[in-house]
Structure 1
């Protein structure tokens, strides 16, 4: 990216700076940045970036796959579930509920008017 991101008062930690960089990179380029690109873009060391990535992965704010560009952002549902868990809500992983289906019309299999 053209200009390195810098830690601002709104960002409480280096991990949030790294997360902001990853989100901006993915939005712009459509793929994952390398650790070197994150380090350069945030003005951090590679070891500092690696430590931040471990924390972000443990908090489920990112997922990692093998490979040089294996950082994956969770989808919006996964991110919302993570935030709910942090707030103290109990969320079942095996139950995903969407909007209720429309009510069904009753179907009669017997019509008393016919002989």
Structure 2
């Protein structure tokens, strides 16, 4: 078995395992893995690894540069990693508001009350320094 194979869940599809491995490898090493590394990690043949990568590219789950062996990118990987890290630090991001069950209520008890104005004074648009008349 490959070095990463014990990390990958057995119930996940090979395609998802390949995507997870590629994503983790890019985050850890700063570059994409070679086909041989993917094959070893998934405990599959080189031909099967190439087929999985080709399928991921066809389904737009990864992007590949033509003719380059280590030119796999995962669209949105860095953004997802940053958002996950921000959430770990307790930051609420925009997407969290769509999933209200994951959002902690905002602390509002200590906020000052806003004064309600009954009348907004007229100010001459030509003289911004004029004293308003009530």
Q: Which runs of 5+ in 2 are unaligned?
A: 81-124, 128-134
What SS does the aligned partner of 2:69 have? coil
TM-score scaled by structure 2?
Answer: 0.51
| Contact 1:4–1:43, Cα closer than 8 Å, also in 2 | no
Q: Which runs of 5+ in 1 are unaligned?
A: 80-109
Q: Where does 1:78-89 land on structure 2 (aligned, <5 Å)? A: none
Q: CA RMSD in A?
A: 2.9
What SS does the aligned partner of 1:33 have? coil
Identify which of structures 1 and 2 has the higher relative contact order when contacts are C-alpha pairs closer than 8 Å and 6+ apart: 1
Structure 1 residue 36: Cα displacement: 0.7
Map of 2:10 onto structure 1 = 8
May I ask how many residue pairs the two structures share in their alignment?
82
Map of 2:120 onto structure 1 = none
Structure 1 residue 4: Cα displacement: 3.0
Structure 1 residues 27 and 55: alpha-carbon distance in aligned structure 2, compared to 1, 3 A threshold: same
What SS does the aligned partner of 2:37 have? helix
Larger-Rg structure: 2
Write the deviation string for residues 12-65 of structure 1: whole angstroms up to 9, x where unpaired: x21111111101111110110010111011111111111111111111110001
Map of 1:72 onto structure 2 = 73
> How far apart, in 2, do the equivalents of 1:52 and 1:46 lie?
10
Runs (4 or more) in structure 1 with deviation over 2 Å come to 76-79
> How far apart, in 1, do the equivalents of 2:57 and 2:39 lie?
17
TM-score scaled by structure 1?
Answer: 0.59
